[in-house]
């Protein structure tokens, strides 16, 4: 399956042991197995996966572990977005692996202009043996993915999709206007119906860590009828961002018994999450919605 034909990519968490020093491979393998069984793709090493807090060797070890254990999950790997040599090294390593493709955010901290962004992405796209999804995340990178950059890169064979995390429907529409051949993905679980209305073809989801099959059904229904009033409940998914991602989703996954610990790495802290009971209430509401959706005429994918 190509990147841009998958309607749901789960931005997977990276589970740790109690002190955050080691990867919890058992929990990670179980999470990926659930995503594979649901038919979802997986994004590794994004912000939800604490990709910027993982060492290069840890990322390589994770990929070695997954493929040594014959993981069949469709995987996108996040590319380092600050150091060009690190990005180039990681791409070279991943080119020999059976991944589906790459995931590249706008460069962090440096705030490049249109020409700098274009050259950054173009250089990395040229190194890749697989296609890529570009990631607009101005709240983290300090700068947006410029529409002019999207237009400049639209003809590149390895540029096939955009994940937009700006929450700006006008900006998303502009991407589609300048590059109608590029597949747009929503990045905010609560906004899937709104982005479907303007032409988004799928979701890169945090919520799907907890509910892989239910979120897939939600995406399908959003694409089928984004005005369906039954989709209003998904606005409650905003509580998954009541603290810096991935703190809330890790707390919820621990509550559900899907990971051993909710540990995050500094400078993230679980103490920044207020009222975790809102997550547990969300879980009850989403499970109830999922049960109802099973009986609806839109339950099929």
Inter-residue contact 262 to 254 (CB < 8 Å):
yes
Q: Residue 84: CB partners within 8 Å, gap ≥ 6?
A: 120, 123
Question: What is d(CA 286, CA 288) in angstroms, rounded to the nearest whole number?
Answer: 5
Question: What is d(CA 210, CA 221) in angstroms, rounded to the nearest whole number?
Answer: 19
Task: Supply the DSSP string of 40-84, one letter for each residue.
Answer: -EEEESSTTTTGGGS-HHHHHHHHHHHHHTT----EEEEPPSS-H
Closest CA to 150 of 130, 174, 185, 125: 174
Which residue numbers are catalytic?
135, 163
Inter-residue contact 27 to 41 (CB < 8 Å):
no
Reading the block at residue 235, the tokens are 């606005």
Reading the block at residue 279, the tokens are 């997550």
């Amino acid at each position: 399956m190509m990147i841009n034909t998958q309607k749901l990519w789960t931005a997977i968490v990276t589970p740790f042991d109690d002190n955050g020093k080691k990867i919890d491979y058992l929990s990670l393998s179980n999470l990926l197995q659930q995503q594979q069984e649901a038919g979802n793709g997986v994004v590794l090493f994004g912000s939800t996966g604490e990709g910027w807090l993982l060492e290069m060797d840890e990322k390589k070890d994770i990929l070695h572990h997954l493929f040594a254990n014959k993981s069949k999950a469709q995987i996108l790997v996040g590319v380092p977005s600050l150091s060009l040599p690190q990005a180039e090294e990681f791409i070279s390593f991943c080119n020999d692996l059976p991944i589906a493709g790459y995931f590249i955010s706008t460069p962090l901290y440096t705030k490049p202009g249109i020409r700098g962004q274009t050259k950054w992405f173009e250089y990395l796209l040229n190194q890749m043996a697989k296609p890529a999804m570009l990631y607009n995340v101005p709240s983290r990178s300090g700068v947006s993915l410029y529409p002019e950059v999207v237009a400049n890169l639209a003809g590149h064979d390895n540029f096939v999709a955009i994940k937009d995390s700006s929450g700006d429907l006008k900006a998303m529409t502009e991407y589609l206007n300048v590059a109608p051949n590029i597949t747009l993905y929503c990045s905010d679980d609560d906004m899937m119906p709104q982005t479907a209305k303007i032409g988004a073809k799928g979701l890169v989801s945090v919520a799907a860590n907890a509910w892989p099959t239910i979120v897939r059904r939600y995406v399908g229904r959003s694409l089928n009828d984004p005005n369906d009033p039954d989709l209003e409940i998904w606005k409650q998914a905003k509580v998954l961002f009541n603290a810096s991602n991935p703190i809330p989703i890790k707390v919820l996954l621990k509550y559900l018994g899907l990971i051993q610990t909710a540990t995050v790495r500094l400078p993230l802290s679980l103490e920044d999450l207020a009222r975790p009971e809102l997550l547990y209430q969300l879980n009850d509401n989403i499970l109830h919605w999922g049960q109802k959706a099973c009986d609806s005429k839109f339950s099929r994918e």
